[in-house]
Structures are given as C-alpha cells and as structure tokens.
Chain A
Amino acid sequence: MSVIEARGLRKAFSTTVALDGIDLRVEEGHILGLIGPNGAGKTTTLNAILGLTPYRGELKVLGRDPWNQRDELMREVCFIADVAVLPRWMRVSQALEYMVGVHARFDRRKAEGFLAKTAIAHHRKVRELSKGMVVQLHLALVMAIDAKLLVLDEPTLGLDILFRKQFYDSLLNDYFDGSRTIIVTTHQVEEVQQVLTDLMFINHGRIVLSCSMEEFEARYAEVMVKPEHLAAARALKPIYERQVLGRCILLFDHVARHQLAALGEVRTPNIADLFVAVMGNPRGPAQGAAR
C-alpha cells in the first residue's frame, strides 16, 4: 500500500487555483522533496494530506481520508507545519507531559534523550528559547513519535546554517530507518539534495517534474563547455544555459554522458540549477517528466 495516493487533487480559493489536478504517489520508505516557488501549491498540497483543508479529487493517506479522519490519521502521521508554531506559553516539561497524555505512540524517554543533546532546559518556556532551539524542541517531540509519515513544511526557515545542518543530520541518523516516509518542502534546496530519495517540482498547482534521485542523476547532466565546443554542445539541445565567470554551463536532459564528456567537464547538476532551468523554461522537460 502506498503511504500517499492522490488523483486529480484540486483546490481553489476564491480568486486563485491552488491545486490544479495533482497526481501523487508516495511509497513507504521514501523521502520526497516537494520543491516549488512561493505560491506554487506546496503548502496547500501538504495541508490536504494532513487534513487541514478540504479538497476535490481523490486522496488517501495511509488508507484514510484525511479531511474526515484527521484525528485518527494523526496517530500515525506527524508534522512540523512551520517554524514557531509551538505555543509560546508552554514549558518544555508541559509539552512532554501533554504529548504523553494525548499521543499513544509518543515515547517520552526518547524525546528526553534528544533534548539531552541540546541546551534546552525542561523548565524553560517556549517563548524563552531561541528560534533554533524551538525547532530542536519540536523535532525532538516529533522524532519521539513512532509515526509512519512525517511531513515537514519549511522546517528550517530562518535558521542559521549550523542548525539547518544539524536538523537534517539528526533526521537521517536518529529518525529515518527505511520504513518511515518523509515529505519535505523547503527553499534551501541544496541542503536536502543528499537527503532525498525522490524529487518533485510543483508550479501553478501542477506537478512539473517528478522523478527519483537515481533517475535525476541518470537523466540530467551539466557540462562546463569549452568555448570551442559551444556550437556542438548547443546542437544537442540543452534545456538551459547559463554563464558563470565567463564560462558557459549547459544543462542537458537525456543525453548520454560519454557524448557530453568530449565537450567539457560533466557533473550532476544541483537541484537548484535544475529548478531554475525547469521553472524558467515553460516548454522545458515538463512534458517528458510529468507523466
């Protein structure tokens, strides 16, 4: 059974269409990165998955209908919706007590173990913690839940690079065990590239690209083309071209690497570069990618 299965997911607000027919299938054990510009529909997609917003179309999360079964679903799904949504008046000890009281799958000892690695004292109130500590606390609470699906919506927004690095490190080392599933949206694309197993670009409420990271590495190649080979390289129809320090960097889709190697230095592109290429180029690889 897929963890998430969506078909023709639609959502319209009074003036805008937020989701314009999303088809989505996430299997157990995958870490999916949902990447898109502001207002692309990322958060709306996640909200639909979490039962926070009504939608049209078919959607099943762990076999349940999120909108009508949110509280049951939340026994097996957890999410960090945003930085700083922990209630500011709450003490760390109260948060632990409360979680034990309402969540059957919450392991207090585990959460205390995670907190012991931070500088967060139990008697502190959330409002007295720094932004980074609040995220650490939230992550500690969430990682102590034995959930099947974890949804992260911009979990590291506004944090400094040390905290961001730590966040993804502990997520991978202390939480992800191959049977859990994670969906993450973020603008800090470079930092999640090594973390993801699957990649999805979304824009104007539609999926623009959807592939596994292996596919991504096999399909896309970036070549720093030597000036003398530029014409030959352009003949291979790059999907994007940019200039860095006077050198031309061309991004290719579905072009064999040995063919490219003759033109210059070949490497796997950053997700961020592919993102710019795909989003800046409406006729780009979308047709091929969005099945």
Chain B
Amino acid sequence: MNTESNVLRESGVDSETVATASLSHTQPFYWSVRREVWENRWIYVGQLAIAAVCLFGFLINITRWLARMHGLATTNPMKHWETVALPYAVVAGVMMGTLILMSLFYSADALYSERRDRSILFWKSLPVSDLTTVLAKASIPLVILPLFTIAITLATHLIMLLLSSIVLPANGVSLASWWNELSILQMWGLLTYHILTAHALWPFPAYCWVLLVSGWARRAPLLWAALPVVAIAALEKLVLHTSHFAAVVGTRLIGGGAPTDFTAGEMFPFGPMTHITPGRFLGAPGLWIGFAVAAVFLTAAVRLRRYRDPV
C-alpha cells in the first residue's frame, strides 16, 4: 500500500520534471521574432535592393569623384575628409532613410496584417502570449531592422572600398594617403553608434505608436497613425501659434535632436571631428520619457491584441 503510493508519487514527480524540462525547450520569443523576419522578408530584401542601387550610383559617379580627388591638394585640408568620404557618407545616409521608412511601414503592418488575413486565429491557437508577440514585433524596429541596416551598409562600404582601391591607384591617387584621410574604422564605429541611438532607441516611441494603431485600425493603419499627429500639430499652430509638437515628432522620426552630440549642422554625423557621448545620451531625460511613452503604447497594444477580432 505504502510502497505503491510512493511509486505513484515518484512517477508523478518524474513526469512533472520531464514536462517542465521539455517545456523549457520552447523559445516563444525567439521564434516569434523569427516568424516576423520570415513573414517580412522585404525588410532585408528591400535594403539589399537599395544598397545595390547605391553601388550602381557609386559606379556611374566614380569619374566625377576621381576628379575631385585629384583636386584635393588645392583645397582646404579641413574639407579633405568630406571629399574623401563623400560617397560612403551618401550611401550611409540613403540606408538610414530606408531604415526609417521600413520601420514605419513594418510597424504599421505588424498587428494589422495578421488580423486582415485572419492568421491571428492560428497564432492565438498556440501557447504564445500576446505580450510575447507584441514585444517580438516591437523588437523589429528597435533591434532587428537597425542591425540589418548596419550590416548591409558596412557590406556595401566594403565593396566600395574594394572598388576604390582598384580605381584610385590606377588613376594616380595615393592609396595610403586616401586610406589615412578616410579613417574607415572610426566612421563605422560612429555609424553603428548613430544608427542604434538616433534611429533605433530615440524614435522607438514613434514606432510603438504606429504599432499600437496597427492593432486598432480596420484599414489604412499608417493613415490613422498620422491623423492625430497632424491634427494635434494643426491645432497647436492655430490656437497657440507654435509648432512644438510637430518639432518633437519630426525629430523623433528622423533621429535629429537626439543628444548624441554631433556637431551642429553636420549633414552626415560620422566624420572624424564628431565626438560621441554615450553618457549624455543615456542620461538624457528625453530618452527615458520616450521609453515610458513606448511602454504605455505597448501595454495598450497587448490589450488590443487580446480584445480585437480579425478585420
């Protein structure tokens, strides 16, 4: 009798441990992120296409750039870097603009398309919580897309470096001095820092807002996301004759105004004269206020995903 119940208890414990062990093998968050990348292949295919266009542009403008490189000796040494690095800076700028657009379009689609095609009924039939799903979707503009942009931009730069080091010596420009002026590693460091701060962390609340609206709208989520922003900006202009709100939203979106301490007026903020100040960035109240706002938006988005029926 006793032994029997002991055996029963033991086997119960055993199956319990087995169950927990096998449960811990699942990684709902990781797989939720993977499925976003599977579903939205355009977030990297699109960037690769833009990068290809950039390379093409570099090739057809290479003679003009060579001519400027030849005239380098006669210009102000302070301006040297601009000439030397111009094609690289332009490519990085284009890629960042692409990143902003992609983050916006991704966020507007994230919680909308699964309701539109009713696949939400499949996702909800699985043991993945709404919180996990919403966080996975938010991680795309916060982490995944910026990392893709950094990787693709650096790869594009590498190809351009390769091409430059063939073309420049062939046209009588000294490779060593060009390399010295370019300081590519510093540029890459600044580029990475700039994308992560000004184009991922700083605009995060804006993307979370769009994500929230995408979980609510019955159609045209991007339009619905823009509408209240435009309305508030217009109201402020009419009533108070100021445009602070529009300025705040604008700087959040294009990453301007982020206290990353780039020299004012610098168009491509990763020249050798730029100094980064992570301490100042992390200490900026604006960053943390933005995160608090983002948390509110995400909480609301989780709730919406629970309540909202398919479109």
B72 to chain A, nearest CB (A): 50
Question: Is the C-beta of B266 less than 8 angstroms from some C-beta in chain A?
Answer: no
A84, CB-defined interface residue at 8 Å: yes
Is A75 part of the contact surface with B, judged by Cβ < 8 Å?
A: yes
In the complex formed, the residue of B with least CB distance to A88 is: B117
Closest to A79 in B: B125
Complex contact A85–B118 (CB within 8 A)? yes
| B-contact bits for A50-73, CB 8 A (1 contact / 0 none) | 101110000000000000001110
Specify the chain B residue showing the minimal Cβ separation from A67.
B306
How far apart are the CA atoms of A139 and B126 in the complex, in Å? 14
B122 and chain A: residue at smallest CB distance = A85
Q: Which residues of B contact A71 (CB under 8 A)?
A: 127-130, 132
Contact check: which of A80, A82, A101 meets B118 at CB < 8 Å?
A: A82
A87–B22 CB distance below 8 A: no
Judged by a CB distance under 8 angstroms, whether A102 is at the interface is yes
Question: Which residue of chain A has its CB nearest to the CB of B40?
Answer: A89
Q: Quick check: B124 and A90 within 8 Å, CB to CB?
A: no
Residue of A nearest to B123 (CB): A87
Q: Mark B285-311, 1 if CB is under 8 A from A, else 0.
A: 000000000000000000000110100
A232 / chain B contacts, CB cutoff of 8 Å: none
Given A54-B307, A98-B34, A104-B22, also A82-B127 (CB < 8 A): no
How far apart are the CA atoms of A99 and B28 in the complex, in Å? Answer: 10
A103 contacts B126, C-beta separation under 8 Å: yes
- Indicate which residue in A88, A101, A104 contacts B31 across the interface (CB closer than 8 Å): A101
- State in angstroms the CA–CA spacing of A81 and B125 once bound together: 8
Q: Is the interface of B mostly helix, strand, loop or mixed?
A: helix
* Nearest-Cβ distance from residue B125 to partner chain A, whole angstroms: 5
Q: How far is the CA of A214 from the CA of B54 in the complex (A)?
A: 74
Determine the residue in chain B with the shortest Cβ distance to A47.
B309
Beta-carbon contacts of B34-48 to A below 8 Å, as 1s and 0s?
110011000000000
1/0 per residue, CB under 8 A from A, across B97-123: the answer is 000000000000000001001111111
B12-30 residues at the A interface, CB under 8 angstroms: 19, 22-23, 25-28, 30
Tell me if B117 and A102 are in contact (CB < 8 A): no
The interface on chain A, measured as residues whose beta carbon lies within 8 A of the other chain's beta carbons, has a size of 29
A72 touches B127 (CB 8 A): yes
- B153 smallest CB distance to A (angstroms): 27
What's the least CB distance linking A169 to chain B, in Å? 23
A98 and B31 contact, CB distance less than 8 A: yes
- Which of A84, A85, A86, A89 has the most chain B CB within a 10 Å cutoff? A85
Q: Secondary structure at chain A's binding surface: helix, strand, loop or mixed?
A: loop
- A87 in contact with B39 given A71-B129, A104-B23 (CB within 8 Å): yes
A81-128 contacts to B (CB < 8 Å): 81-82, 84-90, 94, 98-99, 101-104
What CA separation (Å) do A80 and B125 show in the bound complex?
8
**Chain B residues whose CB sits within 8 angstroms of the CB of A78 once the complex forms:** 125
Q: Count chain B residues whose beta carbon lies closer than 8 angstroms to a beta carbon of A.
A: 33
Structural contact, B119 and A74, CB atoms closer than 8 A:
no
Complex: A81 Cα to B124 Cα, angstroms: 10
Give Cα distance in the complex from A80 to B128, angstroms: 16
The answer for the CA separation of A268 and B54 in the assembled complex, in Å, is 76
Q: Which residues of A contact B26 (CB under 8 A)?
A: 101-104
Chain A nearest Cβ from B116, distance in angstroms: 11
Say whether A102 contacts B128, CB under 8 Å: yes
Residues of A with C-beta under 8 A to B128? 71, 74, 102
B30 engages A101 (CB within 8 Å) = yes
* A89–B121 CB distance below 8 A: no
Say yes or no: B27 contacts A101, CB within 8 Å: yes
How far is B35's CA from A103's CA once the two chains are assembled, in angstroms? 14
Task: Collect the chain B residues with CB atoms within 8 Å of residue A75's CB.
Answer: 23, 127
| B125 and A86 within 8 A (CB) | no
Partner of A81, one of B28, B39, B121, B307: B121
A99 to B25, CA, bound (A): 12
B70 to chain A, nearest CB (A): 51
In the complex, what residues of A have CB within 8 A of residue B25's CB?
104
Using Cβ atoms and an 8 Å threshold, which residues of chain A touch B34? 98, 101
| A179 → B minimal CB distance (Å) | 15
Q: Is the CB of B124 within 8 A of A52?
A: yes
Q: Which residues of B contact A54 (CB under 8 A)?
A: 307
**Which single residue of chain B is at the shortest CB-CB distance from A82?**
B121
* B203 smallest CB distance to A (angstroms): 27
Contact: B121 with A102, CB < 8 Å?
no
Which of B22, B35, B122, B306 has the most chain A CB atoms inside 10 A of its CB?
B122
How far apart are A92's CB and chain B's nearest CB, in angstroms? 13
A81 and B30 contact, CB distance less than 8 A: no
CB proximity of B131 to chain A, nearest CB, Å: 9
Q: How far is the CA of A71 from the CA of B128 in the complex (A)?
A: 5
Contacting A89 at CB < 8 Å: which of B38, B122, B123, B132?
B38
> In the complex, which of the residues B30, B126, B129, B307 has the most CB atoms of chain A within 10 Å of its own CB atom?
B126
Using a CB–CB cutoff of 8 Å, the interface residues on chain B facing chain A are 19, 22-23, 25-28, 30-32, 34-35, 38-39, 114, 117-130, 132, 306-307, 309
The 9 A-B residue pairs whose C-beta atoms are closest, nearest first, are A101-B31, A81-B121, A71-B129, A87-B119, A74-B127, A85-B121, A104-B23, A75-B127, A85-B122
Q: Can you list 14 A-B pairs, Cβ within 8 angstroms, ordered by A? A: A50-B124, A52-B121, A53-B309, A71-B127, A82-B121, A85-B118, A85-B121, A87-B122, A87-B123, A90-B35, A102-B31, A102-B126, A103-B127, A104-B25
